[in-house]
Structure 1
Amino acid sequence: MTTQQSFFLLAFAGYLLVMVVISWWVSRWQKSSSDFLLAGRRVPLLLTLGTTVATMVGTGSSMGAVGFAYENAWAGALYGIGGALGILLLAWLFAPAREQNFSTMSEELASYVDNHPLVKKLLALLIYSASIGWLGAHLIGGGMYLSWLTGIEQGQAKLIIGIGLAVYVTIGGYSAVVWTDAIQAVLLFIGFVLMAYFAVAHVGGLSAIQHSERVVDSGFLSVNKIGVMPAISLAIAVLVGVLATPSFRQRIYSAQSVSSVRQSFVISGGLYLFFSVIPALIGISAYLLNNQLDNPAYAFPYMALNSLPLLLGGLIILAGLSATLSSASSDAIAGVSVLVDDIYQWLFNNSMPEQHQLLISRIAMLLTVALALIMALLSNNIISYITHMIAMVMSGLCVMGLLGRFWRGYTWQGALATLFSSVIGALVVAEQANWLAWFGNPVVPALCSAIVFGVLVSKLTKNDWRKKARSAVGQTSL
C-alpha cells in the first residue's frame, strides 16, 4: 500500500469515527422502535431536505451516472433528470400519506386494498428484499471505491464499508441517519461541484468538451449513441426507483408534517435537476483524459486522483464514499422498519414487547446489513444490478401505489396481478436480447404489464370483492 493509499484509508477511518460519535450523541434519548426507526416522527424540513439530497446523490449518481457519462457522454445526465422528476412526483402524489401515520411502505400499500393479509405479507417480503437489494448495491459501490483507492481486495473493502455502516446506524437509528446525511449532503455538493470545476478546467474548458468527438456526434442527451428508447427507459428506471424505493417513503412517515416533507422534496428535486449536469461533466472529462479505464465506474475516483491536489482529492473521495454510506443507511433503516413492524408481527402473531423494542430493532439492523453484504459480495455490475432490480420488483410496487391511491376500483386480486405481472414482464424482456437492446432495460415493459393486468384483474374481480365486503358487513351487523 502506497503512502497515498494509506492516507485515503486513514481519512475514511476518521470519517467513520465522526459518524459513530454523531450516532452516539443522537441516540441518547431513544426509548422505542418509533424513535429508532422514524426519529419520533419529528424530523424538520431542513433535516428532511439534507437526508433526501444526500440519498439522491448516492451511488447511482457518483458511480452510475459518472460511469455512464464516461461511456455515453451527456446521457449521464439522465440519472439526474429521472431522479428529479421522481422526487417532484413523490411530493405531489404521496406526501399526504404522512397524515395516515404509516410506519412502512408495505403498510401504506396494503391499506389501499383494505389490508388484505396475503397482500400485506407479500408486500412485506418484497419491500424487505428490495431494501436489502438497494443496500447491497450501495455496498458494491462503496467497496469498488475503497478497493480502487487503497489497493485492498474488493471483498475486504465491502466488509469494511458494511461493518462501518452497521456500527453507526445500529447505534443511532434514523436520527443518526438524518443528521449524518445532512453533513454528508454538504460534503457531497461541495465535493461534486469542485470536482466538476477542476475536471473541466483540466481538459481545456467547456468548449473543449462540447467540441470533443465524444460529444459532437452523440446528439441531445446522447440519444444518437444510446438510442431514444434506452434513454427514456433509463430516466424512467430512476424515476420509478424514487417513487417505489422504501427509503423515500420513510422520509414522508418521519417528517413533522405534510407541508414540511413536500417543501423539502420540491427543493430537493430542483437541486437534483441542477446537479444532473455535474456527473455528466465529470464522466466526459475523465474520458477525454483517459479513454482506457478498465471499468467506467472508476471514472470518478480516477478524476479525483489525477486532476486534483492530494488533500482536495481526498475530500472528493470522502464525498463519494459518503454518498454510498448515506444511501445505504437510509435503505437499511427502511428494510429494518419492515422487518420489525410487519414481518415480526406476522411471524410471531404479536407486537414487540415495549421494553425490548430497541434491542430487537438493533438486532434486526445487524441482520439486514449482513444479508445485504452477502448479496453485495456476489455482484459487481452496479448499473445492471440497480436497473434490473428496479424493473423486476420496483415497477410493480410503483404501479400498485399509483393505482391503489387514485383508483377506488383496485382490488387485492388486482394488486397481486400487478406485482407478479411486473416481474414476469421484466423477465421476458430480459431473456430476449433483441427486445432488451431496443428497450435498454426492462422497466417500461414491466410497468406496462403491471398496469394492464392490475386494471384487468381488478375489473374482473370487482363485483365478487364487493359482494364479500357487503356480506361481511351484514354478518357484523347481525
Structure 2
Amino acid sequence: MDVSIWVIVANMIVLLGAIIFSFYISKRTRNNEGWAVGGRALPVYVVILTQFATASGGGMLVAQVGIGYAFGWSVITYGLFTGAGVLALLFLAKWLRKNDFISLPDIFKKIYGTHPFLITTITFMTMVVPFGWLCTQLVAFGRLFSELTGVEPWLLMLIFTVICLLFIIPGGMVSVAWTDLIFGILMLVMAVVASVYAITSAGGWSAIVQAVPQENIGIEGFWSVGLLTVLFWSLSLTPGTMTNQMYFQRIYAADSMKTVVISLLSTAALLILTKLYAALVGMSAYTMNPNLDNPESAAGMFLSNMPSILMVAYSTFICATLLSTVTSAVQSVVVNITRDIYQSYLNPKVSDGQLLRTSRIFSVFVIFFAFALATLYPRALDWIVASYAYSAAGLFAPLFIGFALKDRQFLTFKGAIAGMLFGIAGAGLAHLLGTTIPYVAFGLVASTIGLLLVSAATRNKNTTTVVRKETSI
C-alpha cells in the first residue's frame, strides 16, 4: 500500500481519537469559565504540557526548521528570546491569580478602568498573536501534508479546519489542556527520535559539520542570521510572548501558584530544547540538499525522505502539534470576542449557558476566517513575526509599565490609548519605510512616549480615569 495512504489513515485515527476524547473530557465543562480557563483547576503536569504544546506548532515544524536550514544555531537564539518572555511572566503571576482574571483585557480594566474605546482596542490587539499563530498552523499543515499526500494545500487546510472545529467546540480550554497532556508527550518523544534520525540520515555529525557553512555551525552561528534580525527578535519575540494571552490563560487555569511557577520554568526550558530539534533537523536537511529555493521547504523535504514507518509516526507528531496550537489559538480569540466584546457591550445580561453557546458559535467564524486568510497569504514565518511585532508594539508598554506604576496614580486611560495607537503607528510607519533598525523598536519607543506624555497631560483632569491603587504584592 502507498505510504501516503498509511499517513492518511494514521492521522485520521489520531484526529478521530482527539475528537472523541474532546467530547468525553468536555463533561468537565459545566460553565463558560470552564470553557475559558479550565475551571481554574488544571494540575501541574497538564499545565506544563499544555503550555509547551501550545507554544510549539507550525513555527517549530516549518518556520524554525527553515531558520535552522538557512542559519544554523540562530534558531536557538530565537528560542532564548521566547523563553525569556515566558519567564518574565513570573513577575506578574501572583497578582494575576489574586485578581481571578480570565482574559488579557481584564488586566487593563483593573489598571486603567473600563473605558469602552480602550478595552475594545486592547481586545483586538490581544487577538493579533493568537490569530497569527492560528493562520501559521493552517499554512504549516497544508504545506507539510501536501508534500506527503500530493493533495492540494488549500484542500488539506480546509479538512483540518473542520476537524479542529469539532475538537474545540465541546470543551474549550478543558478539551485543549487535557488533550495537550497526551500530545505534549508525543511531541517530546518524536522530537528526540526525529533529531537522532536526521543526524544519522545526513551521515553523522561530522558530515553535517563539513557540509554546513562554518558561520552557521560555529559559535557565530547563534547570530549568523544577522545582528539586526537578532535585535528584531529580541524586540518582538520577548515582548510578544509577554503579551500573549494564551500563556496568561494557563496561569489563570492552574490549580495553584506553585503549579504556575513550575509550569513557566518548565515551559521556558522545553521551548529552548525544541529549538535544538529545529536546528539539528534544519542543518541535517541542508547537508542532504543545500539547494532548496525556500528554507521553509526543508521540513517537508526531510519528512518525504523518511522510511515509511517513521514517516507515518512523524506525521502523527506533526498533526498533534498543529492541532494543539490551532485549537488553543481559536479558544483564546473566542474568549476575547465573547467576554470582552459580546458580553461587555452587546449583551451584558447574557446567561452563563448562553455565553457558552455563543463561544461555540464564534469558534466557527474565527477558524474559517483564519482559513481564508491563510489560503490567501501562506507564509508561515511572516505570520509569526508580524503578529509578535505589532502586538508587542501596541501592548507591551501599557501592560508592563502599567503594572509597574499601578500604585502611583500617574497613568490614565487616555495615556494607555495613546500608548497603543502610537506603538502601532510607529511600528507601521517604520515597517512601511523599510528602516534599517527593526520596525518594532520604533513602535516600542513610540508607545512608551505616548503612554507617559499623554498620561502626564491628562492625569489631573476630572474626566480622566486614573490607575486604581492596588495593594502591593
Show the 5 A alignment for 1:209-224. 209-216=208-215, 220=219, 222=221
Tell me if 1:414 matches 2:415. yes
Tell me if 1:230 matches 2:190. no
Out of 344-353 and 70-79, give the one that drifted further.
344-353
Residue 321 of structure 2 is matched in structure 1 by 323
| CA shift for structure 1 position 117 | 2.6
Does the Cα contact within 8 Å between 1:65 and 1:77 map onto a contact in 2? Answer: no
Return the letter of the residue paired with 1:72: F
Residue 41 of structure 2 is matched in structure 1 by 42
Return the letter of the residue paired with 2:441: V
Return the letter of the residue paired with 1:412: F
Residue 450 of structure 1 is matched in structure 2 by 447
Residue 464 of structure 1 is matched in structure 2 by 461
Out of 201-210 and 78-87, give the one that drifted further.
201-210
Distance 1:394 1:312, change over 3 A: same
Does the Cα contact within 8 Å between 1:391 and 1:422 map onto a contact in 2? Answer: no
Residue 142 of structure 1 is matched in structure 2 by 141
Does the Cα contact within 8 Å between 1:304 and 1:314 map onto a contact in 2? Answer: no
Distance 1:92 1:210 in 2: 41
Out of 223-232 and 39-48, give the one that drifted further.
223-232
Distance 1:316 1:340 in 2: 36
Q: RMSD value over aligned CA atoms?
A: 2.1
Distance 2:30 2:118 in 1: 31
Residue 199 of structure 1 is matched in structure 2 by 198
| Structure 2 SS opposite 1:426 | helix
Residue 277 of structure 2 is matched in structure 1 by 278
Tell me if 1:385 matches 2:383. yes
| CA shift for structure 1 position 258 | 2.3
Distance 1:128 1:224, change over 3 A: closer
Distance 1:463 1:155, change over 3 A: same
Off by >4 Å, runs of 4+ in structure 1: 216-219, 467-470
| CA shift for structure 1 position 469 | 5.7
| CA shift for structure 1 position 168 | 0.8
String of CA shifts for 1:437-472, please: whole Å, max 9, x gaps.
x34x5322222222222222222222226x7569xx
Show the 5 A alignment for 1:431-450. 431-433=432-434, 435=435, 438-439=436-437, 441-450=438-447
TM-score by length of 2: 0.92
Distance 1:377 1:115, change over 3 A: same
Residue 357 of structure 1 is matched in structure 2 by 355
| CA shift for structure 1 position 67 | 0.7
Out of 17-26 and 310-319, give the one that drifted further.
310-319
Distance 1:202 1:448, change over 3 A: same
TM-score by length of 1: 0.91
| Structure 1 SS opposite 2:459 | helix
Distance 1:275 1:213, change over 3 A: closer
Does the Cα contact within 8 Å between 2:67 and 2:74 map onto a contact in 1? Answer: yes
String of CA shifts for 1:238-297, please: whole Å, max 9, x gaps.
222321111111111211122211211111112222332221111011011012334322
**Count of residues paired in the alignment:** 463
Residue 473 of structure 1 is matched in structure 2 by none
Distance 1:57 1:131 in 2: 12
String of CA shifts for 1:203-255, please: whole Å, max 9, x gaps.
23333333434234675353664321211322442222321111111111211
| CA shift for structure 1 position 371 | 1.8
Distance 1:80 1:129 in 2: 20
Residue 251 of structure 2 is matched in structure 1 by 252
Distance 2:247 2:368 in 1: 22
Q: Share of identical aligned residues, percent?
A: 25
Residue 74 of structure 1 is matched in structure 2 by 73
Unaligned runs of 5+ in 2: 467-473
Distance 1:301 1:468, change over 3 A: closer
Distance 1:416 1:103 in 2: 21
